[in-house]
Structure 1
Amino acid sequence: MSKLFWDAQVPWLRLNGSGARQFLQGQTSADLNALQSGDLLQTCWLTATGRLRAVLELRFDAEGADVIVLAGEASAVHAGFDQVIFPADRVRLQPLGQLRRLQWLEPMAAAVWCDPDAALPETWASGEAATATALEQWRLQSGFPPGPGELNGKTNPLELGLAAQVSTEKGCYLGQETMAKLIGQAGVKQQLRCWSCPSPLAAAAKLTLDGERAGVITSALERDGTWLGLALVRRQCLASPTLEGPNGEQLQIRQPEAFQDPDA
């Protein structure tokens, strides 16, 4: 059987100018200072209160930076950046475009960016582009990238297992104060978990443990007679391997493959 890969046309923002790195350093959560030209790095765009608005992947070059939107509304990212760019930033934001992004569906696989009209690179010819259903199943098993149910305007990156995309060392950035509090003292109130169940369940279904509120389903998919998906589970219930659905359904619970624990 051929190896599957993720093949997608993704929204692309281009920032031209010598101030691109400094601008993105202040707007996103990862530390970008050590990123070498041509390398890819994922980072988060947050609200001032630390809510996740988008997951970005970016690359610097001698003339500026390319940014693709892996999760979230690209138009909102573009508008948000445009609103806070000033002449002193030495950055010019170009109109939204698209790039082609390829990634093998396996743990820690590196991504490749291509021109949207370019032919499939030769090294990918032995594989097969995943169908939408296969890609969604992989997303639900790995927990990444977050979908609309997880990136809902209320969650923060630590709850969704994106701790590696949040720097604890760099200086001020949008949402930094909240991230520092959560990492340093408060901790998160819920975390993302995978679930599976033989009975059908849908997004927004409430989960319980011993009759008490335990969480909520954020994504669901039927695959080969089994239902699976993602859920946000309350911190005090994370140690339980099973939870109950709204009608007593038994859900098996586990940590997503790509989840980065903020408490580890």
Structure 2
Amino acid sequence: MNKTPSLTTLRWDAEFPVLRLEGSGAESFLQGQTSADLSKNKDELIHSCWLTASGRLRALLEIRFDESGADVMVLAGDANSIQQGFDQVIFPADRVRLLSRQPQRRLQTLSDQESSEVIWHDTTAALPELWEQRPIADADALERWRLQQGWPGGDGELSGETNPFELGLSHWVSLSKGCYLGQETMAKLASKGGVKQQLRTWSSTSPLVQGTLLKRDGARAGLITSVLPNRDSPGCIGLALVRRQHLDATSLQGPTGEELILQRPSGFQDPPQPVAS
């Protein structure tokens, strides 16, 4: 029996752009363009990444299949770039058409104590009672949850220079399905353990800004990618990309000695470990 969600759980309630792929070739086309294995669990929402050919993360996607095609929601990233990128590589033999982009309401629970629930909801319909009773998270609460989870939705994380393994998204990447955009790089990173940095949550009693370089005993150790000032106390929290050789540190220093306490984000999935030969 499923556990009844707490009515005090906050909800993330927002609209996101959705690209519609119509046609029998939708699954095959998306298999070649995104990182997850879309042949599994097609009756559920599937998380996947859109990468460059060199494995850099460009967008975070949530995909829903139906009998006539698929809807691709852009959770983070530039929807225009994705639309243009898909359109440039669709050919008649793909048996799929890219339709006009539409907004879609999406709701997600933001409780650390329970598994996160997600629904796509018709904006013209009334919410189910359980969802209606969940308070909507304000911008501060939503950003605090994102930072604690390590959800890499900010422009500091989606900088065009990071890959999914660095950002804790290894569960969004298939290493066993066929070829897809960026697959060769992801396979090399997985086989060689070549991730040079990982995302970490931090807190500090000092004011800091995005882009600040972090140090450990004078050596460069990381870079702040997101910052949220505390609402009722001094200092701030945020996300930082920490270099591999400093991942054992429990704290790092800012440029003038500010102390940052590090934690592994609660939603972070470790990169694949290389298989010993």
TM-score (norm 2): 0.92
Task: State the distance in 2 between where 1:23 and 1:166 align.
Answer: 16
State the match for 1:73 in structure 2: 78
Amino acid in structure 2 at the alignment position of 1:129: I
**Which string of whole-angstrom CA distances, capped at 9 and with x for unpartnered residues, describes residues 214-246 of structure 1?**
000000011122310000000000000000011
Does residue 246 (structure 1) correspond to residue 255 (structure 2)? The answer is yes
Q: Is the 8 A contact 1:98 1:116 kept in 2?
A: no
CA drift of 1:145 comes to: 4.1
- Once the two structures are superposed, what CA deviation does each residue of 1:87-113 show, in whole Å capped at 9, x if it has no partner? 000001111111000000024412100
Distance (Å, rounded) in 2 between the aligned partners of 1:117 and 1:199: 45
Matching of residue 11 in structure 1 with residue 20 in structure 2 = no
Per-residue Cα deviation, 1:162-198 (whole angstroms, up to 9, x for no partner):
0000001101000000000000114200000000000
Residue in structure 2 matching 1:137, options 144, 147, 150? 144
Aligned partners of 1:9 and 1:116 also within 8 Å: no
Letter in 2 for 1:163: S
Q: Does 1:202 align with 2:209?
A: yes
CA distance in 2, matches of 1:179, 1:128: 39
1:26 aligns with 2:32: yes
Asked if 1 retains the 8 angstrom alpha-carbon contact of 2:17 and 2:103, the reply is yes
What is the number of residues matched between the two proteins?
A: 263
Question: Which range moved further: 167-176 or 136-145?
Answer: 136-145
Give secondary structure in 1 for the equivalent of 2:32.
helix
- % same residue: 59
Deviation digits for residues 140-177 of structure 1, max 9, x if unmatched?
11011421110000000110000000001101000000
RMSD value, Cα: 1.2
Change over 3 Å in CA distance of 1:5–1:145 after alignment to 2: farther
Q: Give SS of 1:129's match.
A: coil
Aligned to 2:224: 217
The alpha-carbon deviation at position 263 of structure 1 amounts to 3.8
CA distance in 1: counterparts of 2:80 and 2:182, whole angstroms: 20
- How far residue 122 of structure 1 moved from its aligned partner, in angstroms, is 1.9
Q: What stretches of structure 1 of length at least 5 have no aligned partner? A: none
TM-score, normalised relative to structure 1: 0.97
Cα pair distance change 1:124/1:145, threshold 3 Å:
farther
